[in-house]
Chains A and B, each alone.
Chain A
Amino acid sequence: MVNPVFLIIVPLGFAFSIPLFSLISRKIVKFIPPLSMLFNFIVSIGLMPVVLNKPVVISLGGFPPPFCISLFVGPVGILFSALIALVGFLVSIYGINYIKDGDRYHILYLLLLTGATGVVLTGDIFNLFVFYEILCISSYALVSYLGEKPAVESSVKYLIQGSIGSSFVLIGIALLYGKFGTLNMADIAKNINSVSQMYLFLPLILFITGFGIEAAIFPLNAWLPDAHSSAPSTISAILSGIAIKIGLYGIARIIFTIFGISSILYFLLLLGLLTLLIGELSAFSQKNIKRMLAYSSIGQMGLILFAISLATLHSIEGGLFQIITHAFSKSLLFLAAGCMIYKTGTMEISSFEGIGREMPLTSLGFTIGAFSLIGLPPFMGFGSKFLIISSILEKGGALFVLFAGIVLLGTVIEGAYFFKIIQVLYFKKRKSEESVKLQKVPVSALIPMFILVILIITIGIYPGIVSGILKGASSELLNKVQYINNALGR
Chain B
Amino acid sequence: MDFLFNNIYYIGSFGLIFIGLFILMTKHNLIKMIIGLNIMDTGINLLFITIGYVRKATAPIFSKPDLNPQNMVDPVVQALILTAIVIGLAVLAMGLSLSIRIYQFYGTLDIRKIKEQKW
Contacts and interface: CB of A to CB of B under 8 A. Distances in A.
A177 B51 contact: yes
Given A133-B87, A133-B91, 10 more contacts: A141-B94, A155-B98, A159-B91, A159-B94, A160-B34, A164-B40, A167-B41, A174-B48, A222-B119, A229-B117
29 contacts: A126-B80, A133-B90, A133-B91, A140-B94, A144-B101, A150-B116, A150-B117, A152-B98, A152-B102, A153-B102, A153-B114, A153-B116, A154-B117, A156-B30, A159-B94, A159-B98, A163-B37, A163-B91, A164-B37, A164-B40, A167-B17, A167-B44, A171-B17, A174-B47, A174-B51, A177-B80, A222-B119, A226-B117, A229-B117
B95 A160 contact: yes
A149 B102 CA distance: 8
Interface string A115-147: 000000000001000100100010011001001
Contact of A225 (B41, B76, B119): B119
B77 interface: yes
B24 interface: yes
Prevailing SS type, chain B contact patch: helix
Contacts of B29: none
A160 B33 contact: yes
Interface string B63-101: 000000000000011001001100100110011001101
A105 to B, nearest CB: 16
Nearest to B13: A174
A183 interface: yes
Nearest to B38: A163
Q: Lowest 10 A-B CB distances belong to which pairs?
A: A178-B51, A226-B117, A152-B101, A133-B87, A156-B98, A150-B116, A174-B47, A149-B105, A163-B91, A174-B48
B76 A149 contact: no
Given A137-B94, A147-B101, A183 B76 contact: yes
A229 B117 CA distance: 10
Interface in B1-52: 17, 21, 24, 30, 33-34, 37, 40-41, 44, 47-48, 51
A183 B98 CA distance: 34
Interface string A155-177: 11101100110010011001001
A160 B37 contact: yes
A153 B117 contact: yes
A153 B80 CA distance: 32
Given A140-B94, A150-B117, A174-B51, A164 B24 contact: yes
B72 to A, nearest CB: 14
Interface residues of B, number: 33
Contacts of B17: 167, 171
A216 to B, nearest CB: 14
Nearest to A130: B83
Contacts, number: 83
Interface residues on A, range: 20 to 34
B80 to A, nearest CB: 6
A226 B91 CA distance: 19
A178 B52 CA distance: 8
A229 B99 CA distance: 20
Contacts of B83: 126, 130
Instruction: Kindly name the residue among A163, A164, A183, A225 whose own CB sees the greatest number of chain B CB atoms within 10 A.
Output: A163
Given A152-B98, A152-B105, A160-B95, A230 B37 contact: no
B37 A167 contact: yes
Given A150-B117, A154-B117, A159 B44 contact: no
B28 to A, nearest CB: 12
Contacts of A126: 80, 83
A137 B101 contact: no
Contacts of A157: 117
Nearest to B37: A163
A164 B41 CA distance: 9
Nearest to B40: A167
Point out which of A147, A156, A157 has the most chain B C-beta atoms below 10 A from its C-beta: A156
Interface string A420-463: 00000000000000000000000000000000000000000000
Contact of A160 (B24, B77, B84, B105): B24
A437 B99 CA distance: 34
Given A149-B105, A174-B48, A156 B117 contact: no
Contacts of A170: 44, 84
Contacts of A133: 87, 90-91
Contacts of B114: 153
B70 to A, nearest CB: 15
Contacts of B44: 167, 170-171, 174
A140 B98 CA distance: 10
A35 B80 CA distance: 33
Interface string B105-117: 1100000001011
A355 B3 CA distance: 71
B51 A156 contact: no
Interface string A225-241: 11001100000000000
A204 to B, nearest CB: 17
A157 B118 CA distance: 12
Contacts of B90: 133, 137
Contacts of B40: 164, 167
A157 B115 CA distance: 11
Contacts of B119: 222, 225, 282
